[in-house]
Amino acid sequence: MTAVDTALPWAAGMLVLAMLLNLWRMLRGPDLPDRILALDTIYINALALVMLLGIRFRSSLYFEVALVIAALGFIGTVVLARHVLRGESIE
């Protein structure tokens, strides 16, 4: 058993805990920017979790999925920020 095999479950557990805490903040956030920030952090944690799965299973498919999550998360954050600033999402 290597150090990577020992560290990966701990790291995955911490990421899941962080996602749960961010979900709580997203549901209980006092205002809209807090909720948007929590959603942004959830997708970043999901991205890191997918990367850990890619390392664990030694498959490059997970890294491609991580790229898709990153692109969709970025687009979602830009759309939500634009909605907050201007009140419109798509022109």
Predicted confidence (pLDDT) per residue in 5-55, tens digit: 889 999 999 999 999 999 999 999 899 889 999 999 999 999 999 999 999
Phi-psi region of 31 (alpha: psi -120 to 50; beta: other; left: phi over 0): beta
Model pTM? 0.84
- pLDDT tens-digit series, residues 45-76: 999 999 999 999 999 999 999 999 999 999 99
Residues 6+ apart with CB under 8 A from 23: 38, 42
Q: Which of 42, 47, 36 is nearest to 79 (CA)?
A: 36
Domain boundaries, the chain: 3-86
Asked if 62 contacts 10 with a C-beta cutoff of 8 angstroms, the reply is no
Asked if 78 contacts 90 with a C-beta cutoff of 8 angstroms, the reply is no
Q: Classify residue 26 by burial, with Cβ atoms within 10 Å: 0-12, 13-18, 19+.
A: middle
